[in-house]
Each structure stands twice: as structure tokens, then as C-alpha cells.
Structure 1
């Protein structure tokens, strides 16, 4: 496996931090926060809440807090690395700088689960609320054959394909347009969730919270793994490193603000939903938030508003996560680890048009034909593995590059990143043996691809020993 002498050299050689890469710096702090909220708040709370409640009952609030703790520890790591290495590759670029090319390739491979596969899962969840919205507006449902995959009694999930196509069209038009759309959708879905909380608490009854943990600690643990899916996407903020106006300052702030805001929101939504109608009524129910509002108000109008908010919210997640996926693939392509087509940026729109269209086509296929449950656990374990590596990277770079400019430093180092690793490993364990076997197979395929293609085509492999001994210190 190719070796390197300096994290600075790796970042410089990848080309990710150089001016003239074709991307434009147009995103300020507000846009970054909205982008983070856009990437996080969607299927996990609008669709996945019922699964978490089914596992943990009212104790799902604890599950959300534990999942948030995992994210907070890792958010500190992302904040430090995002400010020190403000490039588009997110976890991939951080691992490249701190742990080497081979590890970075596997991180990039796992990010296909976090970003790419989650797009498919999120798009599938979008279909549920499209049907709920149509039902509330005109009393109609899309035919099952066209709104669900074969595993759910249908033929093709057409709405899932449509939302991916719409996101792709917006992304190729330009990052400024995408950022504006994401900001508008983020504000709208936050308003809808705040309205849901207000409605739910009007019918709140203490008795609906007992028993608080009907399945004990095991249920809360399983609920935590399910709840974690609701937080996937906060690290997408770091993929905007090359398009943020002041990435060293704004990226750390945006990450921490997003985690705090989303955690408060999720806990309040869970309490409002369960307090209004009880955990048994919420657990396992499709489009649960609309159902809660319908039950509380005795009308389908409120549920229709929630369904509309969910349609917008989930569409914004597809947009933000697809953005992150294309930027990660761009970084890997610039390092020579995947085909060069992914690094090409259109001079007209300053976006990776070809890479975006390829991503849309590839991930529309599982969205069209696979059920949501088939990918959630695999997506979760891949994300947790990536987050564990990011925490380890903080430790590696602190030891080898103590002089690296850091606009934010992880507090209570090294305890915080070690706790981040520990929480990630615990939640990975909770995904179950079947998911571990699937993940092992997925990693095996990634290793084979690296050895057969990535290692041979790598730009780092072409660096001579003399070159590698002369790090470009000013690059980061």
C-alpha cells in the first residue's frame, strides 16, 4: 500500500484544496446550517420514528439522546477536521490525510452506504407521505404497483425515482440554486415540526408515557440504533468545504448548531407524539406524524399539512445527501481512486454534472425496487464505521501534525474522540449479526476494488520518494 510522509502533502496532492478546481464559494453560515438541517431532518423522524417507538416505547426519548451523544462526540471530531482541512471529501479526505490511502478508500466505499444508499432509503420513505398527502387532498392513493417495490407488493416505486430525478436536475443547475432551495425547505420543515409539537402537546397525557421502557434497556438499545438513522447526514456539511465562503470558521459552528437543534426537535416530537396517543398507537405505523395530528384534531386537514411538510423535508434530504455524495466521489476521483469522470466540473454551472447524473441513475434503481427496511441497518453500520474512523483520525493527526492550523479543537482530548469510537462500536454491535455479515461482504468487495483498480490508478502511487519528502505546508 502506498505510504506518505505528511498529511499536508496528501491534501495538497489530492488537488482538493487548490483554487481553480471549478467550484465556487457561495455558502455562508446560514446556508451551511440549513444545508445540515436539510440533510438530517427527513425520513428518520417522519418515517423512522414509528420504528424507534416500536423498539423502545416512550423510552425512545432516551434512545434519541444516546444517538445524539454518539453524534455529538463525532461532531466535535468533524468540527476540528472540517476547520483544519476544508475540502469536499469529508470523512474520506480526513482519513486520507490521517490514516493513508488504503483506509481512505474504504472510508469512501462506506460513504456510499451513508450517502448513496441512504438516498435510496429516503426516497422510498418519500413515497409514503406522497400517498398520505394525496389522500388528504383528493382522497386518492397511487396504485401500489407504482408506489412500492416488489418486496412490498408493488412493481416499481415511481415517486422514489421522481424525487431523485428532481434533486439531480436542481444540483446540476448550480450550488447557489441548490443552497437556496435547501434553505427554504429547511425553514419550512422546521416550521411544520414545531406546529406538530404544539398540536401534540395540546392532547398530552402523562399516562401515555407509562410504562416508560416496556422492553427494558434492551429495547432502548435497539431503539437507539433505529434512532441513529434519524441523525445520518450532519457530516454532509463538511462536503461543502470548497463551496463555503469561510469554511474554517463556519463549518465547525454549523455542525454543532445542527446537532443541538435537531436533538431538541427530535425529543420534543417524540414526546408530543407519544404523549398525545400513546406509544402503542405510534409504534410501527406508516406516516405516524400525520396519523397523530389526525387523531388529535379529528380532521385530515392537519395530517395533510404534516404530510406536505414531510414531502418537502424528505425531498430536501435527497437533495443535500446527493450533493454530499457527488463531492466525495469528486475528491476520490481527483486522487485517482475512481474513474476521472466524477471529477469533471462543468464550466457553465460549476457543478460535477456527469457525476451527479451517474449517482442519480445508480441510486434510483434500489429506490425503485428495494424496501426501506432492506437498507437501513446496512446504511447505519457503514455510517458508524466511518464516524469511528473520523474520531481515530483526530488522534492520529494530533500526534503527527500538532502544528496543523485548527480553528476548532475537540474538547477534553483524547477522552472525547475515544468516547466517540466507543459509542460507534456499541451501536454497530446493536445492528445484529446479519448486518455484520452483510457489512463484512461489502468491505470485502471494497478491498478487492482498491487492490484491482484504486491502488494501480492512484495519483499518490506516482509520487516519487523525493517528492513525498517535501510536504507542501501551506496547502492547508
Structure 2
């Protein structure tokens, strides 16, 4: 038993990761380094700003009142603490795999596989969940523009009374085709879509502020501090996705410098947009009207301008937003599988890269098929429930990893160092634990079962085939 435990907690040297991936001139990696600072920043923004901001105020304002603005700030601070930790590890270990690779370098192989389970859950399930929502917005836009609707049989899961959510499947197929074409092309398309959805949200702020009424802020914090912090827990999940930047570690130019800057820029953009949207929303509409309100931002603008066209524009913005999120989460999932396959803990099939495009085409096809099955046949509420806990546990491990890597490899080159160390990573850990504690017990139980399944795979296949055990480093 003791030798097995020793194997399970072996750590992958950062120097070996550098040699495999071509960091700092250590040779060439399998993936092409084609992504610069702007498209990388847009990957982080694209994965984070999804449909949440379009609707989350209807859940958060009834809990906090107009003080929901501070809830966004608090959630942004907690996300920011984690982002700082990601920035340091991304600059020290700039490889594919995100927190899986960071855990492998700092906490050991078995912990890395546990984190891999979290990431597969986060990216795969969230990709399916947002794709399911795409058909709803598509129907809204088609109805507003042309007066037509996709039949329920082709736009709803079986549980929703349909046969298959065909728009969701088509969306995933389009994303997969784009990713197979190449990482650089995918990043460019994503950057364009992110600029469009940011423009839609800026439009909301510019038009919405003309309906500002300071009387709406009179009872600013009706539920006190408890309401503000409770709403922050709800809102935090609108910040999930910043870690997507770290999945691109092997396809980024000058990663030690570029990755931490991109993470911090993405956090700054996302938090600024969220706070501005929240402030204008509570200033333009009475707090009592938020509860149960569907398409909240559209409804506010329609009241301000006295016309229905904002609903059409925001539906179009949501469609672009969901496409962007789906593209990035499928991308992230494929790179995580690539890293696990290269380490020998998945079959060689998952580490193969197309010679022409230098992208993991096999992974893209597998992930697209799996996500399409989930999105086509399962309802959105089932999918959405499991996304958050995987993300939080991954965040937790990254924050601990910063502390461990400072002790085990103090001289390792780092393009960025967490300010306020060790207080910052400790606060990040506490923030993640605080939010995990607010999740439903059934969510935690299902998550534990999923992690157990992945660990069974590790102890039956991964531990014997790990390249750290076999010494086989051939990336063919």
C-alpha cells in the first residue's frame, strides 16, 4: 500500500513540463504558439461573460436590493484573489491543462486526477448547459425578426416535451469545426464575438442610464450585510471562466509574460462591465420589479425607450455570447484531455495532434460528441447544477498550489508573483470554501461520486501507465 501511495503522490517536475512544451527555448512543443495578448484576454472574457449577466439580477436583487452593486464587487474580489493565484502559476508553469497541470507539479498525480475530474465537469457540463440556452434565445430572435419559431420537437430535450435540442447540437458542431481548423482562427473568431457582446452590454449602460432615478436607490441595503454577501455567493458563478486563459498555456506567445497579463485584464474588464450594468439596472428600475423578471436587461431598456427593439438586440447579443462561451469551453476541455493523455493517464488517442493544423482533432471530436449528447437530450437545470462545484474545487487547489510551489521551487522563473503573499492565496482558499459551503448537499454528493469514478480509472489505468512511472516521454 505504501509504495502505491508514494506513486500516487509523485509530482511532475516543472523542468520536464518545460522540456515537453518548448517553454524558454527547451525545444518545440506539439501545439503551435500562435495566440497573442488580445485574443488570449478575449478567451478569458469570452468564457466568463455568458448569459449570466443578462439574467442574474432577477435572482440577486431580491436578495440584496440595490446594494447588489457591492455584491458584484465582493464576488469580483474573491474571483480576483483566485485570478492572482492563477496568474502566478500560469507564468511559472505555462502549459496546457490549467489547474490539472498545476496540481501535478505541486500536489501530486492523484490530486491532479481529482482536479481533472473537476475540470471535465466544469467545462463539459457548462458547455452543454449554455448550448441548451442557445435555442431559447434563437427562438426569441427568430420570433422578433421573422415571426417564426423552431418547433418544440426540435428545440427541447425529451424531458422538456421535445425529441432533441437540435440548435444546441448544431452550435456545438459549428464550434468543433472551427476548433479543428486551428487555435489561432478560433481565437480570432472568439475575439470578434466578445467585442460584439461587450458592445451590447455597453449599449445597455449608455441607454439605461438615461432612465436613472435616484429614488430607486433610496432603500439601498434592505437586507443588510447578510443580503449583500448572500447575493455575492449567487453572483460569483458569473465570474466562472477566467481560468480558461490557463488552458491555452502551450499556444501562447511569450507565455510567462502574456498569460498573467491576460488573466488580470480579463478580470478587470469583466468586473467593470458587471458593476456598470448592475449600477445602471438598479438605478433605472425599482427593486421590487426584479424578482421573477425574465429577460431582465431587455425589459429595463424597453421601459426606458418605450419600444421593443432592445429585446431583439439583447437576444442577438445573448446568441453571440453563448456561441463564444461554448467555443471556449470546448477548447479548454480538449486541451485538458491533451495534457492528461500526454502524461499517459489516458490512452494515446487523446494526445495525438493533427500534423497540419497542430490541434488535438481527436479530442475535439470526442468532446463535441459528448457535449452534444448532453445538450441534445438533457434539460438545462440538471446540467447547470453541477458546473459550479467543479470550478470552486479547481480554484481551491490552484490557491494551495501557489503556496506549495513557493516552498518546493522558490527559484523557478515566474513572470508574475502574487502580491500580499501568503495572505492572498489563504484568503482565496477561504473564499472558495465559503461559497462551497453554500451549495446544496445533493450537489456535493453527486460531485463526490463523479470524482470517485475518475479516481477508480486512475488506480486501474492511470497509475500504471503514467509516464512518470514508465519513463516514456515520446510524444508521438
TM-score by length of 2: 0.92
Alignment correspondent of 1:348: 356
Alignment correspondent of 1:202: 210
Alignment correspondent of 1:472: none
- RMSD, aligned α-carbons: 2.2
Residues 21, 95 of structure 2: 8 Å contact kept = no
1:283 correspondence with 2:279: no
CA spacing shift, 1:147–1:224, aligned 2, 3 Å: farther
Structure 1: state its 5+ residue gaps. Answer: 468-476
Alignment correspondent of 1:232: 240
Residues 11, 106 of structure 2: 8 Å contact kept = no
- Structure 1 residues 367-403: Cα deviation after superposition (integer angstroms, max 9, x where no partner): 1233333233321111011101000000001011111
5 Å-filtered alignment, 1:1-80, equals 1=5, 2=7, 3-4=9-10, 7-9=13-15, 11=17, 19-80=27-88
CA spacing shift, 1:5–1:341, aligned 2, 3 Å: closer
Residues 44, 266 of structure 2: 8 Å contact kept = yes
CA offset at residue 437 of structure 1?
1.7
1:368 correspondence with 2:361: no
Alignment correspondent of 2:194: 186
- Structure 1 residues 155-200: Cα deviation after superposition (integer angstroms, max 9, x where no partner): 4222222211111110000112101101111111111110011111
- Structure 1 residues 445-474: Cα deviation after superposition (integer angstroms, max 9, x where no partner): 22222112221221122249xx9xxxxxxx
CA offset at residue 7 of structure 1?
3.0
Structure 2: state its 5+ residue gaps. Answer: none
CA spacing shift, 1:286–1:372, aligned 2, 3 Å: farther
Alignment correspondent of 1:419: 427
Alignment correspondent of 1:462: 470
CA spacing shift, 1:329–1:441, aligned 2, 3 Å: same
Alignment correspondent of 1:316: 324
CA spacing shift, 1:112–1:57, aligned 2, 3 Å: farther
1:89 correspondence with 2:66: no
TM-score by length of 1: 0.92
Residues 22, 28 of structure 2: 8 Å contact kept = no
Q: Which shifted more, 13-22 or 181-190?
A: 13-22
- Structure 1 residues 340-368: Cα deviation after superposition (integer angstroms, max 9, x where no partner): 22211111211111100110110112212
- CA–CA distance in 2 between the matches of 1:383 and 1:326? 17
Alignment correspondent of 1:473: none
Residues 14, 93 of structure 2: 8 Å contact kept = no
- CA–CA distance in 1 between the matches of 2:354 and 2:266? 31
CA offset at residue 51 of structure 1?
3.0
Residues paired across the two proteins, number: 465
CA spacing shift, 1:159–1:212, aligned 2, 3 Å: farther
Q: Which shifted more, 51-60 or 424-433?
A: 51-60
| DSSP 3-state at the match of 2:337 | helix
Q: Which shifted more, 437-446 or 220-229?
A: 220-229
